[in-house]
Structure 1
Amino acid sequence: MSTNLTLDHASQLRVSILTLVLLGISAALIGGVAAFLGASAYGLLYCSFLFALIIFADYRKGVWLLAFLLPFASSQLVPRELFEITGLNPFNILFGLTLLSLFAASAFRRENIQFVRFPTTFWIYVGIMTLGACLGVGSVERAIVLPNLEPLTKTAYLLDFAKSMIMLAVAWLAAVLSRSGNGRPVIWALAAAYTTFFVVIAGYFVIDGISLQGLAAGDRDFLSWIGLHANEIGLLANIGFAILLHAALATSAPWSRAILLACAGAAAMMAALTFSRAAFVGIAIILGSYMWKQRGMGQFLLALFAIVMVLLLLPDAFIERASTGLATGDQQAITAGRLDLWLVLIGTFWEAPIIGGGLYSTLWATPNLRGLMLPVAHPHNAYLAVALDLGIVGVVVVAAFFWSVWRTFSHLSKHHVDPQWRGVFEGCMVGLLCLAADGFTDGRFTPTPPQAALWLCYGLALGHQAQSRGSIKRPPP
């Protein structure tokens, strides 16, 4: 007994010393920055300091906030930099504080934290992306300059790659959180994020008086102020819609179920308001998958009736946008000019068939440099992008990795002991289908902002798999 008391006292002493050291360092840094920036920065720094202490006291609060901010992280809704310092932004600061809090809690044994290991397929996937970035950085200086954008630099290129790695690191934090049995707040953070995002977009429509007929005619830049293309927002919304809908349907508590359904509805309306045809396809996949899995005829007919009523009540602008080019059979209208782009770029695959031309290689593809195609940054086809950027090796690695992700979600959706988590991971499977469908006309199979919810849930899945053997059955060999 006396030994245990001595150990507890020593542990508390170490924590107290660490806290004092951190307080001293933080005070010195704040004093130095305030002296550099002037008195106007005192209020902001003081609030940031208090915020940092809250996160340092409990890393879970930091993970929740990261999960909430991740869908917004690459948009203009979150400042890209503070005090004109590249890389210094609220998300990166929050990420650093959360990591510090987690490692401090583990090192000083404030609680029993068990870290989670990513599978081998994940590390091979990260390795091929890193190789692609290393190959690409040598070609950045040859990249075309896109209209209304600054020339791409090696620093900007590597920072963009670093954002993908940070997204994976946040997924790892979610895995650590879920292994300790506290992963559910991440789902609620996503629900809050999607609802907030929908309110922002809907508010913009109302305040600016956006015309639905104008959007149906093909105006694709109406959401450019957010910093994401309408197609990207559509994929982001659909993945959230799939996850939240299935989580809600698997929730037994009435109020929780109602709130999650409302948040899922917000995500669906957000996808519809993008007027992206890929988003419309995603909505159809989600609703079709839900109907397909209805075992009772009554539930099936009820779901079918609800979907038909929604379609009948939709403004004509949505139907007009969804059917663009179908009546005349115009391939250019149906593909929005993508067909010509694909035909031009396919031939460049043979320039580097084994390992590709590097991430984002479309920017320095030969037809792009010679002006033989529209100046674009990506081929508007995720499958073609993998082949051009990472070659045959990348195609095999990416396919194997996403197959392993599918198997992970599939296993947990069938064998998890908690019905709500089974619903979450079933929604993740549908989200993967949306990603696969979206890949035919847009997107990438490397981590991008629209995939934020999917990566967070992948981290949650790994955390659940790593829990005690008694709670989840072992996955099949």
Structure 2
Amino acid sequence: MSTNSTLDYASQLRVKVLALIFLGISAALIGCVIAFLDELAWALLYCSFVFALIIFANYRNGIWLLTLLLPFASTQLVPRELFGVIGLNPFNILFVLTLLSLFAASAFRREDIRFVSLPTTFWVYVAVMGVGAYVGAGSVEGARVLPHSEPLTKTTYLLDAFFKPLMILAVAWLAAVLSRNGNGRSVIWALTAAYVAFFLVIAGYLVINGTSLQGLAAGDREFLDWTGLHANDVGELANIGLAILLFTALATSAPWSRAMLLACAGAAATMAALTFSRAAFVGIGIILGYFVWKQRSMGRFLLVLSAIATVALLLPDAFFERASTGLATGDEQAITAGRLDEIWRPLIGTFWEAPIIGHGLYSTLWATPNLRGAMLPVGQAHSAYLDVALDLGILGIVVVAAFFWSVWAMFRDLSKQHIDPQWRGVFEGCIVCLLFLAVQGFTNDRFTPTAPQTALWLCYGLALGQAQSTRSITRPQP
């Protein structure tokens, strides 16, 4: 491609971005006026109409907006319903509009769109999730009602346990289509904007409320519940963004783009640290440890190690107090936050009640010790490994392990063989995400798609698109 054509493309892209920003700001301002005069739902409906015009002009705009909104979709920052209709919310509206725009562009041949085929391991993985949801739906009525929660119904159960994870995978497929058709980088920048926005929301909240670091370190773990996510979940979400943005930045040659990505990675790292989640601290250590280990020269190794050590020494004592909780006394209960005796040990024995296909997704809610009050009243086992064993049984363990092995193999191949260094950096960051997820899985989260994992699943979609692109992989010379 010539220099002139490159400049023309950059100019066109700049105009499109400015137009999108202008329309978005206009929609937001008019929506705020409507919200002030009447109900918020009408304002959101109006904004949806405006964005519908933007999306139907180009389906890529819809995928960009979905990527930007996806990390917030499971929080209280985005309305869950409009006009009292379950499922009618801004995210779902954007998703439907984007699908319609994509299929319309393909059907009317406005452009040659190459769709992405999904691997067999993916379909088997989703099928096992479906079996788990089907099994679990039969036990919902006997589930324990958690404090400050409404009784679980089959509808809410299926929405939370199956359809929300399926929606994450559906958006990842849209990212795959965008990636295969040559526009995957916009997803990375949308994720970058989402992480900066999330960081500003959390930092602003802490500043406005005058919350001290010492208070966060000594306080309970629910201080971020106003977002709709637990502090551990926010820490995981931030660390996945840190890994992807950091390694993408290091592989980016353009100075300004690299500086922006590094700054955004720093925002993600700060957000992870502010959660005061020990799992988040471990995640930061894994990511930075991998980065140090990957340095090829002793000089760079010592320089990076010195920089990390300097930052660590400058951190307030509150971070070290939180990170070392229970270590000085060897208190297992303090180290595991009560998980060992009050969650894991009571639950382990229930595996043999349904060892082949498990008890169904989210089965901790109706586990025998939970119903009898013999453990903490929780909705998950606080261990992804224990969750997959209890929820999906031996069948699920085998399928989930095979699926994640295939995901890791794809990331590994692309991180080594992609012709574009920046894409190699993206997928190397994804490898670190999988390593972090494997470690965090001992004490938190699940191995089915969850809100904190959204960036990783979007990158899985990007990887599928790049793997099926004929011009992305270096071929060995004959």
What's the TM-score, normalizing by structure 1?
0.90
Superposed, which structure 2 residues align to 1:138-287 within 5 Å?
138-160=138-160, 161-287=162-288
SS at match of 1:174: helix
Are the counterparts in 1 of residues 48 and 94 from structure 2 also a CA contact under 8 Å?
A: no
Equivalent position of 1:358 in the other structure: 360
Equivalent position of 1:67 in the other structure: 67
Superposed, which structure 2 residues align to 1:380-395 within 5 Å?
380-395=382-397
Equivalent position of 1:335 in the other structure: 336
Q: In 2, distance between residues paired with 1:250 and 1:149?
A: 45
1:35-66 Cα shifts (integer Å, max 9, x gaps): xxx99977654443222011011000000011
* Alignment of 1:58 onto 2:58: yes
Equivalent position of 1:440 in the other structure: 442
Shift of the alpha carbon at 1:94? 0.3
Q: What is the letter of the counterpart of residue 250 of structure 1?
A: A
1:263-314 Cα shifts (integer Å, max 9, x gaps): 0000000000000000000000000000000001121111111101111110
Q: What is the letter of the counterpart of residue 279 of structure 2?
A: A
SS at match of 1:99: helix
Are the counterparts in 1 of residues 80 and 87 from structure 2 also a CA contact under 8 Å?
A: yes
Shift of the alpha carbon at 1:219? 1.6
Q: In 2, distance between residues paired with 1:40 and 1:315?
A: 41
Q: In 1, distance between residues paired with 2:148 and 2:455?
A: 30
Are the counterparts in 1 of residues 240 and 433 from structure 2 also a CA contact under 8 Å?
A: yes
Q: What is the letter of the counterpart of residue 431 of structure 2?
A: M
Shift of the alpha carbon at 1:211? 2.2
Q: What is the letter of the counterpart of residue 472 of structure 1?
A: I
1:45-93 Cα shifts (integer Å, max 9, x gaps): 4443222011011000000011111111100111111111111100000
Equivalent position of 2:80 in the other structure: 80
Identity %: 76
1:381-403 Cα shifts (integer Å, max 9, x gaps): 00000000000000000000000
Shift of the alpha carbon at 1:463? 0.1
1:92-115 Cα shifts (integer Å, max 9, x gaps): 000000000000000010000011
* Alignment of 1:426 onto 2:428: yes
More displaced stretch, 45-54 vs 334-343: 45-54
* Alignment of 1:412 onto 2:445: no
Shift of the alpha carbon at 1:218? 4.2
Shift of the alpha carbon at 1:471? 3.1
Number of residue pairs matched by the alignment:
439
Are the counterparts in 1 of residues 339 and 382 from structure 2 also a CA contact under 8 Å?
A: yes
Equivalent position of 1:94 in the other structure: 94
Alignment root-mean-square deviation, CA? 1.7
Are the counterparts in 1 of residues 350 and 367 from structure 2 also a CA contact under 8 Å?
A: yes
Q: What is the letter of the counterpart of residue 175 of structure 2?
A: A
What's the TM-score, normalizing by structure 2?
0.90
Equivalent position of 2:24 in the other structure: none
Q: In 2, distance between residues paired with 1:49 and 1:150?
A: 33
Q: In 2, distance between residues paired with 1:73 and 1:46?
A: 19
1:47 and 1:330, CA in 2 relative to 1: closer, same or farther beyond 3 A?
Answer: closer
Q: What is the letter of the counterpart of residue 225 of structure 1?
A: W
* Alignment of 1:344 onto 2:319: no
Q: Specify every segment of 5 or more residues in structure 1 that has no aligned partner in the other structure, as ranges.
A: 1-33
Equivalent position of 1:24 in the other structure: none
Are the counterparts in 1 of residues 114 and 181 from structure 2 also a CA contact under 8 Å?
A: yes
1:387 and 1:421, CA in 2 relative to 1: closer, same or farther beyond 3 A?
Answer: same
1:263 and 1:367, CA in 2 relative to 1: closer, same or farther beyond 3 A?
Answer: same
Q: In 2, distance between residues paired with 1:332 and 1:40?
A: 45
SS at match of 1:446: coil
Equivalent position of 1:320 in the other structure: 321
1:301-358 Cα shifts (integer Å, max 9, x gaps): 1111110111111000000000000000000000000001111100000000000000
Q: What is the letter of the counterpart of residue 123 of structure 2?
A: W
More displaced stretch, 300-309 vs 275-284: 300-309
More displaced stretch, 88-97 vs 44-53: 44-53
Q: In 2, distance between residues paired with 1:376 and 1:70?
A: 26
* Alignment of 1:459 onto 2:464: no
Larger Rg: 1
Q: In 1, distance between residues paired with 2:149 and 2:438?
A: 29
User: Following superposition, which runs of at least 4 residues in structure 1 exceed 3 angstroms of deviation?
Assistant: 38-47
Q: What is the letter of the counterpart of residue 334 of structure 1?
A: I
Q: In 2, distance between residues paired with 1:200 and 1:234?
A: 14
Q: What is the letter of the counterpart of residue 134 of structure 1?
A: Y
Q: In 1, distance between residues paired with 2:218 and 2:133?
A: 38
Q: What is the letter of the counterpart of residue 442 of structure 2?
A: F
SS at match of 1:324: coil
Q: In 1, distance between residues paired with 2:168 and 2:41?
A: 29
Superposed, which structure 2 residues align to 1:373-384 within 5 Å?
373-384=375-386
Q: What is the letter of the counterpart of residue 91 of structure 1?
A: F
* Alignment of 1:403 onto 2:398: no
1:439-476 Cα shifts (integer Å, max 9, x gaps): 110100000000000000000000001111x431479x
Q: In 2, distance between residues paired with 1:103 and 1:167?
A: 19
Are the counterparts in 1 of residues 292 and 305 from structure 2 also a CA contact under 8 Å?
A: yes
Q: Specify every segment of 5 or more residues in structure 2 that has no aligned partner in the other structure, as ranges.
A: 1-33
Q: In 2, distance between residues paired with 1:350 and 1:446?
A: 22
SS at match of 1:66: helix
Shift of the alpha carbon at 1:214? 2.1
Shift of the alpha carbon at 1:417? 0.3
Q: In 1, distance between residues paired with 2:45 and 2:78?
A: 18
